[in-house]
Amino acid sequence: MNREDGETDRRRRFGVLCESLRPDLLRFAFWLGRDRQLAEDVVQEAMLRAWKSFDALEDEERAKPWFLTIVRREFARSFERKRLPLADLDLLVTTEAEVLAAEDDEQLAAMRQALFRLDDEYREPLVLQVMMGYSTKEIAAMMGLQQGAVLTRLFRARARLRQELGLAPEPAP
Amino acid sequence: MMNCLDFRRQVGAEPAAGGPEFDAHRRECAACARHQDELRALDGLIARALAVDPARIRRPAAGAGGGPATRRRYFAIAASIVVGLSVGLVLLVSAPRASIAREVVDHVVHEPGTMNLLVPVAAGALAGVLDPEGTRLRPGIGDVTFAARCVHQGHVVPHLVVRMPEGAVTVLLLRHREIDEPVQIAEQGLEGVVFPAPRGSIAIVGQGLKDPARVAQKVFEAVDWGV
């Protein structure tokens, strides 16, 4: 394969990965930051960084966690760079109402709002577990936490959601 | 042997937890089994809730760049570029704008075969390329003989070739590239312009076009941005 063919192949492979992963990366970035514009910006920048370091990805089977790590880092960079202010939660819910809406499904809409209102430290591991399908061990590695801490956060996340949705509290053993 | 407290601590964090110990406790304690089933159902609802439509995330918030005022602004830009290019005005090109022109030229030059195709692409294929951007091409502009989503500077962008009466024209929708003013392209035999667009920018280039400014305006007006 000559140099030009190699470059074409590299672009094709990257393009295929981007297309397949982009929807989940966008969803992840949205639930991380609770802001669609920020989500879009973060994913765009992350894609550019990923392209520049694509040769560092040794195993394309591991592309998803690799991209997620880049998105998380880009998100942290955005916060640092832009010094994003702490947003009023009610205002966020209103601003992002279009994304949170679930036509004809009140329970779904209520769950979206409850997830939106979860503290960052509970929401992120829950998204990684339920939406992305990662184990608690993998989540701990991604977030730089002990596995026990991840388990605690996931437990509390679900307890908060049950409370927010007015579900029966956990039955006493 | 697992007790109820341990069981509920674990399934509270991992509702899908299973295995011999869990199964044994479920058989012994109907309340715990019911609790795990409720948590699994809750996770089903959480998963559905998290699976928001990416198109909704990509759509700009109301008042953040859409609406009739935005459309008028972009048509005004399109009209002004016709005048500017027609009288040979050279736009002051700062380093960032020069780079966007070069990036577009490099992309087109790198894929020369796309300009020589003659068979129109199927409507479904075109939709597959444009739908993720929330855009479409209004009919009547010409046959689209090439449509693909290509990697461009680390981003996946729609790349079209439209066969117009004036000649074959390459169109790149560069959502990731915001520019404030149009940038003229005139290098390596390619002529055209990069316009600001409701989402990012749009590059329109061709070879040997008689009236590149007019062609660029027609293409720009043919894109339905969905705003």
As a whole number of angstroms, the distance between CA A54 and CA A85 comes to: 33
- Within 95-124 of A, beta carbons closer than 8 Å to B belong to 95-96, 98-100, 102, 107-108, 111-112, 115
Higher pLDDT, B75 or B133: B133
Q: Report the gap between the CA of A26 and the closest CA in chain B (Å).
A: 7
Q: Helix (H, G, I), strand (E, B), or coil: what is residue B111?
A: coil
- A84-143, pLDDT tens digit by residue? 555 566 666 666 777 776 667 888 889 998 998 999 999 999 999 999 999 999 999 999
A169 inside 8 A of chain B by CB: no
Q: Judge whether residue B68 has pLDDT over 50.
A: no
- Taking an 8 Å cut-off on Cβ atoms, the answer to whether A18 and B156 are in contact is yes
DSSP notation for B8-55: HHHHHH-TT--SHHHHHHHHH-HHHHHHHHHHHHHHHHHHHHH---HH
Q: Judge whether residue B108 has pLDDT over 80.
A: yes
Calculate mean pLDDT across residues B128-152: 88
User: What is the band of B100 on the pLDDT scale with cuts at 50, 70, 90?
Assistant: confident
Element (H, E) at B143: strand B143-152
CA nearest B101: which of B197, B175, B182, B164? B182
CA nearest B183: which of B117, B110, B94, B113? B94
B56 CB neighbours in chain A (<8 A) are 36, 98-99
Q: Judge whether residue B64 has pLDDT over 50.
A: no
Calculate mean pLDDT across residues B132-156: 87
B5 inside 8 A of chain A by CB: yes
Q: Judge whether residue B40 has pLDDT over 70.
A: yes
Which range, A41-55, B33-47, B55-69, B103-117, is most confident?
B33-47
Higher pLDDT, B139 or A136: A136
In the numeric block, which tokens belong to residue B198?
A: 């409701």
What pLDDT is stored for residue A2 in this prediction? 64
A132 CB neighbours in chain B (<8 A) are none
Higher pLDDT, B164 or B176: B164
A154 inside 8 A of chain B by CB: yes
What pLDDT is stored for residue B158 in this prediction? 92
Task: Give the nearest partner residue to B14 out of A48, A136, A162, using CB atoms.
Answer: A136
- B169-219, pLDDT tens digit by residue? 999 999 888 887 788 888 888 888 888 888 888 999 998 887 777 888 888
Q: Judge whether residue A1 has pLDDT over 80.
A: no
Higher pLDDT, A130 or A48: A130
- Taking an 8 Å cut-off on Cβ atoms, the answer to whether A48 and B154 are in contact is yes
In the numeric block, which tokens belong to residue B43?
A: 């996770």
- A51-71, pLDDT tens digit by residue? 888 888 888 888 898 999 999
CA angle A96, A101, A106 (to 5 degrees): 140
- The 8-class DSSP code of residue A101 comes to -
Element (H, E) at B158: strand B155-164
Q: Judge whether residue A165 has pLDDT over 60.
A: yes
What pLDDT is stored for residue A105 in this prediction? 82
Task: Give the nearest partner residue to A107 out of B4, B31, B45, using CB atoms.
Answer: B45
User: What is the band of B62 on the pLDDT scale with cuts at 50, 70, 90?
Assistant: very low
Higher pLDDT, B166 or A99: B166
User: What is the band of B98 on the pLDDT scale with cuts at 50, 70, 90?
Assistant: low
Task: Give the nearest partner residue to A47 out of B5, B42, B154, using CB atoms.
Answer: B154
B151 CB neighbours in chain A (<8 A) are 11-12, 14-15, 18, 51
A96 CB neighbours in chain B (<8 A) are 61
What pLDDT is stored for residue A173 in this prediction? 53
Calculate mean pLDDT across residues B113-142: 87
What pLDDT is stored for residue B91 in this prediction? 42
Task: Give the nearest partner residue to A155 out of B12, B35, B53, using CB atoms.
Answer: B12
- B70-97, pLDDT tens digit by residue? 444 555 555 555 555 544 443 444 445 5
The CA distances from residue B56 to A81, A124, B123, in Å, are 26, 20, 24
B48 inside 8 A of chain A by CB: yes
Task: Give the nearest partner residue to A48 out of B45, B48, B155, using CB atoms.
Answer: B155
Q: Helix (H, G, I), strand (E, B), or coil: what is residue A83?
A: coil
Give which of B5, B57, B107, B129 to mutate to test A binding, by max A Cβ within 10 Å: B57
